[in-house]
Structure 1
Amino acid sequence: MGDPLRPYVPTNETPDEKRKRVNLEKQAKKRSEAIDKQLKAEREEREKQKMAKLLLLGSSESGKTTVLKQLKIIHGRGLSDERQRYRRIVHLNVLTAIKALAHALVTFGYPLKPENQQHLDRIVNLATIKNTLNRNSITVQAAIRNQQLDDNSIDLFVENMNSVVALWSDPAIKKCYNSASEIGLQDSAKYFLDNVGRFGKDDYLPTDEDILQARIRTVGVAEHKFEIADVIYKIYDVGGHRSQRHFWAPYFDDVNAIIFMAAISAFDQTLEDSDINRMDDSIQLFEEICNNPLMINTHIILFLNKIDILKQKLEYVSVKDYFSEYQGDNKFQSVTKFFQRKFLARNHNEEKHIYVHFTHATDTKQMRVIVASVNDIVQRMNLKASGLI
């Protein structure tokens, strides 16, 4: 019995019959190769639809890292593996906050309770956090990543905890806190200072909320993978500080969408290294990204973040004092619509879709709904790009 996979070749075929047979075999081979190529393309397209590449962009302190933490909680393995590492970061956040307030108190000259003067002196004379912890003066983030902080940050926190508690309870320091935007105080300062006692316990490990509130500057570019509704997402988080923005361009290629984050609560703040208004900086950066020739057809998902802080701030800060063109009332709905219009007006391409979400990135319940919405948007983009809708 012959090999069933080999084509049948007549033993008595004529030269003409052989030519016809060979031509038919070549045509069949071409058809087979074309079908294989089509099947491969369809398979690659299906795989592509199951993978999405997103860029997470925005100014520093806009909440990008917090969104990534939420993704780990909602669609990753949670934050359990990071608790011990974040214990150090929480302690650093506390010391950074009280040091900023202590310097502000000295600058403003507010009267302090006499019994707290020794605590003020102790905090004011505390060397910068970086120099105290790192003899080589590397960044705090790098030190934490490379496990070079060991227990120094914990010891430093314990040594100064009583001074932190005493100063935070003093009315003069609370008065300085009301000028948070003027002294560059981090948004989560009150959260950390209110919980100092809990952070000082020997068996303390950060909760999810502690980790979500913790702040540390992103340096360079980090890639994260998440599976959301059977879709693999590659999300690239890049540093938002102005000195880090030159890292962004190489990641613009083959991007499904950009998540651009802006802290809508920062309308009364300036950048730490200049007098530029943080909101103006975000709007200008958004315009540059939105109209970049490499991203001209890339849709953008705009997160106007920190609405919780905005609501609190509007009770005592007037938007008109910082944006003279604003003519509305100082209520949340009016203010958010105003800033939304300012961002959208910077888009020069009418074909580009910009999806806007007002976000509270530390609120896991809200972020769960928004992440589901983002997944739906990205999948519609993929289907449209492939001509299926």
Structure 2
Amino acid sequence: MGSSSGKLKRAESAAFGGIVKKAPSAVHHNKLGKVLEEQRLKHENTVTVLLLGEEGSGKSTIFKQMKHIFSHQDYTKEQRLEFARVIHKNILDAMAKTVSDARQKGKLEDEETAQIVHSWGRKMVLGPKESQVLKLLWSDKGVQNAWQYRGHVKIDSLEYFMKEIDRVCSVDTPYLPTDADILQSHMVTNGFVAKAFYSHITKHNQMKIKDVDRNFLYSDGSFPNIPETRNDKKLEVIDTGGQRGDQTRYVHLFKNITCVLFVAAINEYDQYYEEDNRSRLDVSVELFRETLEEKTFQDSAMIVFLNKNDLFRKKLTTAPFKSYGVTMYTDYELGDDDAEPYAQPLVEQRNLDYKGKECKMIKFPPYKLDGSDEEFEQCYNDTCDYIRELYRKQSDDLPFKKSRNLYIHFTTSTDTKNLERIMESAQDVILNTSLTDLGAII
């Protein structure tokens, strides 16, 4: 039998692929210590914000706004031209879906114009001739009805762009989207994309952002260099894809997240997914609960942006927040006396436990949305309270007791001034969380 030292060497050899490792030298220890210290400083000096939310929540618009607010960088001409192509596709995609809904409801009147638009496909560049055809189709009563009561359309900006259609379809001078146009555009995020900013912590614990031109894919590992001093911090914002199921698949990849910023589109309370007829609001709340239960984020600050507040206020006057459901029955099959009528839900049941004030769907004169209508404001405030508590309840009902502050804001992601004010508040939460992790706040 071999000695115990021989057994140990053989065990070491097996563990290291047949190579017996010698005891590390003092020089090796010093090098390893330097590497670990660099990694520690990099982690300590990085504030990482992860954006989560369902597709269409406005998450990527908030990502654009954060880049603008923190870096103050303007879009180049080439970037604006690329957004012009995206916007033209957005218009055709949203119009096609709205026309399809109008046709299914039997309300489409101008089938001829609808077929002309359909023949274009969805990748063409729009010009003045196309703008006239689109305006004619947009004026169709069936299309307007389908847009007002849309359930599946994911792009909410069609109405905005139709008001600007002549400018958007200009060819005399190449159409260069404005900043407002770009915020209204919709482009699916695949995987995840990050933007890094440098910041400086002042003696009053305020985050001062420095301009930096560093845009990169998070997945390629190309992080900017770590700040040089302890007071310099890197703010890293990560935007994730919003396709259903995407985020739960790769959420475990994210480590050391300072803050999760969860975005939900509250104007989608009456909308549902076409593939399984599930309420978009229910799916968003479910994703938020899964996010809270994720062990990776148990030490992260949690901020919720209840987004698209402007569209939510407008929709409250046309789509009831609480609905017991309405069922539509088709005629009996001709020649089949024993056939049962086919029942199809026309309006889904929703928010049956809501006990606040409800807006009247038919009212004359109509509600004023400028803040002066007390009846509407009561309805709006009550529904906001309901949605806020719906998300807060997910945190309160967690099976494990976790002391965590939940910060909830109502936002309009396309309103830069509104988001700047809210980001100031969110910035304090993010920074304080980071300083607490470092032991600077007790």
**Bucket of the pairwise TM-score, normalised by the shorter protein:** 0.7 to 0.9
**Of 384, 390, 414, which aligns to 1:362?**
414
Q: In terms of Rg, which structure is larger?
A: 1
Q: Which moved more, 1:116-125 or 1:313-322?
A: 116-125
Distance 1:78 1:283 in 2: 35
Structure 2 partner of 1:71: 66
> Larger relative CO (CA 8 A, sep 6+): 1 or 2?
1
Per-residue CA deviation, residues 102-152 of structure 1 (Å, 9 max, x unaligned), is 22232222262xxx543222124444x3xxx4xxxxxxxxxxxxxxxxxxx
**Of 193, 202, 212, which aligns to 1:222?**
193
Distance 2:274 2:195 in 1: 28
Does the 8 Å CA contact 2:49/2:261 hold for their aligned counterparts? yes
Per-residue CA deviation, residues 283-314 of structure 1 (Å, 9 max, x unaligned), is 11111110112222222111111111110011
Asked whether 1:245 is paired with 2:247, we answer yes
- Note the residue ranges of structure 1 that are not aligned, 5 or more in a row: 1-32, 134-152
Distance 2:303 2:167 in 1: 37
**Of 377, 385, 388, which aligns to 1:340?**
388
Distance 1:191 1:379 in 2: 36
Pairwise mapping of residues 1-389 of structure 1 onto structure 2 (< 5 A)? 50-76=45-71, 77-80=73-76, 82-110=79-107, 112=109, 116-127=110-121, 129=122, 133=123, 153-154=124-125, 160-180=130-150, 182-184=151-153, 186-202=155-171, 203=173, 204-228=175-199, 229-230=208-209, 231-321=233-323, 322-330=350-358, 331-347=379-395, 348=398, 349-389=401-441
Per-residue CA deviation, residues 225-271 of structure 1 (Å, 9 max, x unaligned), is 12451442111111111142244324331111100111111111112
The 3 A distance-change label for structure 1 pair 183 and 287 is closer
The 3 A distance-change label for structure 1 pair 110 and 367 is same
SS at match of 1:268: coil
The 3 A distance-change label for structure 1 pair 272 and 241 is farther
Distance 1:320 1:124 in 2: 36
SS at match of 2:394: coil
Per-residue CA deviation, residues 335-367 of structure 1 (Å, 9 max, x unaligned), is 111111111111124412211111100000011
Per-residue CA deviation, residues 143-165 of structure 1 (Å, 9 max, x unaligned), is xxxxxxxxxx31x5666333212
Give the TM-score normalised by structure 1: 0.77
SS at match of 1:248: helix
Distance 1:48 1:246 in 2: 24
SS at match of 1:355: strand
Q: Which moved more, 1:318-327 or 1:356-365?
A: 318-327
Distance 1:376 1:183 in 2: 37
Letter in structure 1 aligned against 2:163: D
More helix by share: 1
Does the 8 Å CA contact 1:307/1:360 hold for their aligned counterparts? yes
Does the 8 Å CA contact 2:99/2:108 hold for their aligned counterparts? no
Letter in structure 1 aligned against 2:436: K
Letter in structure 1 aligned against 2:278: I
Does the 8 Å CA contact 2:108/2:143 hold for their aligned counterparts? no
RMSD: 2.5
- Note the residue ranges of structure 2 that are not aligned, 5 or more in a row: 1-28, 200-207, 210-232, 324-349, 359-378
SS at match of 1:211: helix
The Cα of 1:201 is off from its aligned counterpart by 0.9
Distance 2:249 2:286 in 1: 18
Q: Which moved more, 1:73-82 or 1:355-364?
A: 73-82
SS at match of 2:322: helix
SS at match of 1:346: helix
The 3 A distance-change label for structure 1 pair 48 and 253 is closer
Does the 8 Å CA contact 1:220/1:247 hold for their aligned counterparts? no
Distance 2:187 2:438 in 1: 39
The Cα of 1:384 is off from its aligned counterpart by 1.6
SS at match of 2:197: strand
